[in-house]
């Protein structure tokens, strides 16, 4: 039952890594690479936790790290707020001052690169089945 969650979590971590590497390159912001300190260990942790027999400890560790890192930090915050919400508000015509208050530079950039925004929104799209399977299978 943990494997389905691990598949979506790992897909999210791989996409997030690519997204942030691309963002660091295209925007000349190497600090965006900080997410690799979460995504790469998360891939390794999931690999170890879903192998072999599942003890109570492994199960609870799996639930904890996937909920905090994959669901909350990357899925909800990074994918849904930082990208999906930003794009929805931007393209709905919300005034620039409000956008800049919600998404202040230099941390955020208004949509101006198709691939960066597409991969950012894709994080939110992968988070939906991740949250579904997390809730259905683990809780």
Domain ranges of the chain: 2-51+60-138
Whether residue 104 has pLDDT greater than 90: yes
pLDDT tens, position by position, 106-136: 889 999 999 999 999 999 999 999 998 887 7
| H or E element in which residue 5 lies | helix 2-26
Contact 46, 62 (CB under 8 A): yes
pLDDT tens, position by position, 27-52: 999 999 999 999 999 999 999 998 88
Looking at residue 32, the DSSP 8-state letter turns out to be G
């Amino acid at each position: 039952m943990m494997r389905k969650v691990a598949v979506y979590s790992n897909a999210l971590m791989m996409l997030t890594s690519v997204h942030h590497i691309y963002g660091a390159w295209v925007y000349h912001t190497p600090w965006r690479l900080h997410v690799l300190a979460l995504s790469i260990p998360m891939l390794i942790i999931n690999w170890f936790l879903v192998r072999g027999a599942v003890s109570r400890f492994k199960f609870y560790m799996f639930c904890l790290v996937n909920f905090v890192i994959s669901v909350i930090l990357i899925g909800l915050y990074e994918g849904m707020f930082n990208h999906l919400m930003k794009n929805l508000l931007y393209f709905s015509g919300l005034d620039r001052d409000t956008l800049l208050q919600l998404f202040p530079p230099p941390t955020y950039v208004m949509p101006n690169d198709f691939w960066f925004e597409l991969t950012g929104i894709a994080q939110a799209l992968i988070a939906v089945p991740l949250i579904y399977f997390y809730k259905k299978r683990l809780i």
